Amino acid sequence: MKYAVLATWKMALEGTRKAAALLKEGEHSGRAIVEGITMVEDEPSFHSVGFGGRPNAEGRVFLDGGYMDGDTLHFGAVGSIENFRSAVRIAYSLQEGDANNFLVGEGAERYAEEHGFEKRDNVTEEAMELYMKEKDRLQELSAYDGHDTVCFLALDQNGTLCAATSTSGLFMKQPGRVGDTPLPGVGYYADSKVGAAAATGMGEEIMKGALSYAAIRMMKDGMSAQEAAETAVFELDRELKERNGHANPMSLIVLAKDGSCGIGTNVSFTWCYASDTEEAAVHEITLP
Ligand code: ASP
């Protein structure tokens, strides 16, 4: 395959199409997926990312995002930032240099402001209505009520693999909570010699197995993208059930350096894929 793009959830379809068009023109995989994710961040009808994202326990929207370049292994990330248009664009810009690549909270916001990143109040009327309706039921809400992360992986025509992520995290999360999404090795990982991986689902579970790096490690040891995605998720799912009696939802997408893809999930899940031989389309796994 000359190029390929793989993304989490059906909300990524238009972004996948856009990223694939850029890859076709010869664009770098990192720049192509940042464009794809920004489209998802800008769409208020997607309720778990960027504009219109799910509010935290105080009715405010805080964003996490990450980016990794599989050639250099450089990454950039932001955690718990408020009032900016695109977490992934800020994360992308932080990949330069050997230090200060992962910024959170006030420091990340100051950096974004100083570097001219676009500001935006991400709390929409619809998100606020939902918050007002649910805020007194906080104790009853299950950990998985109303969240999803947009993750994009891409292979470009030069053989570079990149990964990027963006989310508003768990609905009604505690102020200061950061999920797996900005954590390299956990929410995403990319190594152009092997493959790229990214996760969505309950961040605290995904952290327990460093899921993205786990899959890439398995591919280094010879597994295909599909074997690695399934093995990483099912092993962690089994360990968590053995130790804690249950495992929360988690899904993993994996793209190999040959453009083939793999999906591992313990819940029903949708994803988007496009390549030089396949039009962008939504795919689905339905579990009971
Ligand atoms: N992984 C995200 C988080 O825990 C949420 C999600 O992907 O559904 O913040």
39-56 residue pLDDT tens: 999 998 888 899 999 999
| Confidence band for 118, pLDDT divided at 50, 70 and 90 | very high
Report the catalytic residues: 149
The structure tokens 């599909």 sit at 226
Q: How much is the mean pLDDT over the chain?
A: 95
- Residue 2 C-alpha to ligand 1 middle, in angstroms? 31
- Residue 147 C-alpha to ligand 1 middle, in angstroms? 6
> Does the Cβ of 147 fall within 6 Å of ligand 1?
yes
| Confidence band for 135, pLDDT divided at 50, 70 and 90 | confident
Confidence (pLDDT) at 136:
78
Q: In the chain, pLDDT over 90 holds for what percent of residues?
A: 89
CA angle 154/158/163 to nearest 5° reads 25
Which atom of ligand 1 is least distant from the CA of 249?
Answer: 8
Which atom of ligand 1 is least distant from the CA of 173?
Answer: 9
Residues 264, 232: contact at Cβ < 8 Å? yes
- Single out the residue of 168, 211, 199, 196 nearest to residue 261, CA to CA: 196
> Does the Cβ of 30 fall within 6 Å of ligand 1?
no
Pocket test for ligand 1, best of 62, 80, 200, 271 (most atoms within 8 A of CB): 200
Residue 144 has pLDDT above 60, yes or no: no
> Does the Cβ of 65 fall within 6 Å of ligand 1?
no
Which atom of ligand 1 is least distant from the CA of 203?
Answer: 4
Confidence (pLDDT) at 141:
60
> Does the Cβ of 169 fall within 6 Å of ligand 1?
yes
pTM strictly above 0.85:
yes
- Residue 200 C-alpha to ligand 1 middle, in angstroms? 5
Please write the tens of the pLDDT for every residue from 45-100.
888 899 999 999 999 999 999 999 999 999 999 999 999 999 999 999 999 999 99
Q: Whose CA is nearest to atom 9 of ligand 1?
A: 169
> Does the Cβ of 166 fall within 6 Å of ligand 1?
no
Alpha helices in the chain (DSSP H): 13-24, 29-41, 87-93, 105-114, 125-134, 203-208, 211-220, 225-244
- What domains does the chain contain, in order, with CATH numbers? 4-285 (3.60.20.30)
- Residue 27 C-alpha to ligand 1 middle, in angstroms? 29
d(CA 83, CA 63): 9
Please write the tens of the pLDDT for every residue from 233-242.
999 999 999 9
DSSP state of 261: E
| Confidence band for 113, pLDDT divided at 50, 70 and 90 | very high
> Does the Cβ of 237 fall within 6 Å of ligand 1?
no
- Residue 40 C-alpha to ligand 1 middle, in angstroms? 15
Would you put residue 222 in left (φ > 0), alpha (ψ -120 to 50) or beta?
Answer: left
